[in-house]
């Protein structure tokens, strides 16, 4: 998977509802449901209950986060 492909995929889905699953240390899993908000060269952000949360494209590529489009 290429970072440009990931960036284009996320750019094409701006303003779409997503469920982000973050796999952290010690088997901790956090889920965020929100709307894809903005994309930047190295990160993208969502709006979750009025709060902007940012994630890295690299984390998506290596599998630390999963994106499910709703």
- In the chain, the number of structural domains is 1
CATH number for the domain that contains residue 19: 2.30.30.100
Distance of CA 54 to the CA centre of its chain: 7
Check if the beta carbon of residue 46 is closer than 8 Å to that of residue 3: no
- What's the pLDDT tens digit per position in 1-30? 789 999 999 999 999 999 999 998 898 999
Instruction: Tell me which residue of 37, 2, 41 sits closest to 20, measured CA to CA.
Output: 37
pTM of the model: 0.87
Q: Which domain range does residue 29 map to?
A: 3-69
Please enumerate in sequence order all residues whose Cβ is within 8 A of that of 52, keeping only pairs 6 or more positions apart, or say none: 37, 45, 46
Taking the C-alpha atoms of residue 16 and residue 18, their distance in angstroms, rounded to an integer, is 6
Mean pLDDT of 54-70: 94
């Amino acid at each position: 998977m290429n970072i440009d492909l990931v960036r284009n995929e996320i750019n094409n889905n701006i303003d779409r509802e997503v469920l982000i699953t973050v796999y952290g240390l010690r088997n901790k899993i956090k889920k965020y449901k929100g709307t894809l908000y903005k994309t930047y060269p190295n990160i993208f952000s969502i709006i979750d209950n009025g709060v902007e949360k940012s994630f890295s494209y690299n984390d998506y590529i290596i599998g630390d986060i999963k994106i499910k489009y709703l």
